[in-house]
Amino acid sequence: MQRKGLKRSITIRWAVNTLGLVIIILAAVVVLTLFMAKNYYVSTAGQYLVSRMETISSALSRFTASSAYRAEVRSLVEGFSEKERFELMAISDTGRVTLTSSGFQPSGWLDMSDYYEALDSEDGTALKELTLASGEHVICHTEIMSGLSKEYSAMRIMTSLDTVDMQLRELAVLLVSIAAVIVILMLTSGLFFIKSIVLPVRQISEIAREYADGNFAERIEKRTDDELGELCDSINYMAGELENTEKMKNEFISSVSHELRTPLTAIKGWSETLYTLGADDPETFKKGMRVIAGETERLSGMVEELLDFSRIQDGRFTLTKESTDILAELGDAVLIYTERAKELGIEIEYFEPEMLPFVYGDASRLRQVFINIIDNAVKYSNPGGKISIEAYAEKGEIVVLVSDNGVGISAEDLPKVKTKFYKANHTRRGSGIGLAVANEIVEMHGGRLIINSELGKGTTVMIRLPAQNGGK
């Protein structure tokens, strides 16, 4: 229903706003052209009648005697050379046609309103269009010949406008035909253009519903290289990103579920063991409590990491900044993991400088970053591996390097490792959000977290933080 409404709405809007306006303009042009053409033809005919009447009036003005005047009028009317095109009439002072060039006496049916208008006019003339009782369309010019003869007191010349009307009708047909062709061409091209818009929009609408239902496999077919084509590319790109995000989210949930299950299983197992043994075996009791405490701490760290990520997503993640000794925080992080690495057969080598400039930042959050990076180095190193940690000042920045010779990261995965939910190696523990949180913390301090890696050879993480007061 909505798709049909969309198509109908676009078509109607185009028909009303564009096609309707063009039709109105074309109709106005046709009417205006016909009006101007009619005025031109009628005006030309009228001017010719006036010119002919002036010639007749000039010829009659030489006569003053009544008898000579009547003879001249009769001679002019009966011998009128253009009687095939014009009708010349003599009119009495009572408004009756007394003489015509055709020989007919049309007084009974002829409209004489032009004669009476000439009587009332200041110059004694009148030019007027008339429709005769027979339906013929004519134009008349009448001029009063005062005081020469009551029988021929006025002269009238008249011609038919039927030829003009026929020409106007032909012109109207031509103009309407041209306008119709223009409208048909616009209608054809317009509907084709609308179709080229509606079909992709309909497809976009249908596939968008698939995306709303969580199906990101469909892609929109790109038909053109215009703005609609760019929109299709953008939506397809968005779908790909959503599909990747959805996949990473599902993998994240699976990974977190597994990560939570492992310590919970250990805690539950040792709790049941200790409950069964009681305090009769002190060594086992101590070992069990140590495992429970360690796994509880691990769970607490995971939950805190998830909470931090949630705060970042909601914009509620804040820092408490102050002058911070970066060496102290880095040293604490190294100390935490040194013994753990030894237990796994991994060596940590720390090149500690004597002094570094302070950093204006949140000490606990910076320590969290160092712990996360070192923890990743330990997780992705194999027994017998080596981790190198060093820190130094460079161009107003504090640089911390954490390098390992572990499993490394593929070139395909490397650009995505700081993305939320992304986990390059699913064989190692971890939720996949630690680097995203660490990167956010470093950026909130005005720094950069740079990762270089090669699959099978190891990874180097560089943390660059601005020194307080430029390192002075």
pLDDT at 239 over 70: yes
Average pLDDT over residues 60-89: 81
Q: What is the pLDDT, as a whole number, of residue 4?
A: 47
* Bridge partners of residue 451, in order along the sequence: 461
- Cα dihedral value 400, 405, 410, 414, nearest 10: -10
pLDDT at residue number 30: 93
What is the distance between the alpha carbons of residues 349 and 338, in angstroms, rounded to a whole number?
9
The pLDDT confidence band at residue 266, using thresholds 50, 70 and 90, is confident
Report whether pLDDT(208) > 50. yes
Terminal Cα distance for the chain, rounded: 70
Residue 136, token pair as written in the block: 């013929």
> Does 367 or 286 have the greater pLDDT score?
367
DSSP H helices in 61-161: 66-78, 113-120
Beta-sheet strands, E only, within 269-411: 322-324, 347-351, 359-361, 386-394, 397-404
Question: By percentage, how much of the chain surpasses pLDDT 90?
Answer: 22
- Distance (Å, rounded) from C-alpha 439 to C-alpha 256? 20
Place of tokens 């317009």: 190
Query: Does residue 450 surpass a pLDDT of 60?
Result: yes
Question: How does residue 2 score in pLDDT terms, banded at 50, 70 and 90?
Answer: very low
Non-local (6+) Cβ contacts of 67 within 8 A are none
> What single-letter amino acid sits at 48?
Y
Least-confidence region, from 152-161, 224-233, 403-412:
224-233
Q: Has domain 2-167 been given CATH number 3.30.450.20?
A: yes
Model confidence at 53: pLDDT above 80 = yes
What's residue 157's pLDDT? 92
- Per residue in 312-324, pLDDT (tens digit) is 666 777 788 899 9
pLDDT, position 210? 80
Q: How confident is the model at residue 463 (pLDDT cuts 50, 70, 90)?
A: very high
Residues 230-243: what's their mean pLDDT? 82
Q: How confident is the model at residue 271 (pLDDT cuts 50, 70, 90)?
A: confident
- Is residue 59 within 8 A of residue 34, CB to CB? The reply is no
Could you tell me which residue, 283 or 49, shows the higher pLDDT?
Answer: 49
**pLDDT beyond 50 at 182:** yes
Residue 427 has pLDDT above 80, yes or no: no
Per DSSP, helices labelled H in 15-156 are 20-60, 66-78, 113-120
Residue-level pLDDT at 348 = 92
d(CA 369, CA 339): 19
282-312 burial string, b = 16+ CB within 10 Å, else e? eeebeebeebbeebeebbeebeebeebbeeb
CATH value of 322-471 in 3.10.20.340, 3.40.640.10, 3.90.180.10, 3.30.565.10: 3.30.565.10
- Structural class in CATH, domain 227-314: mainly alpha
Comparing 227-314 with 322-471, is the CATH topology the same?
no
Residue ranges per domain, the chain?
A: 2-167, 227-314, 322-471
Q: How far apart are CA 115 and CA 435, in angstroms?
A: 106
Instruction: Report the mean per-residue pLDDT for the chain.
Output: 82
CB 220, CB 236: distance < 8 Å: yes
Nearest by Cα to 460 from 469, 449, 448: 449
pLDDT, tens only, 134-158: 778 889 999 988 766 778 888 899 8
Taking residues 29-50, what's their average pLDDT? 92
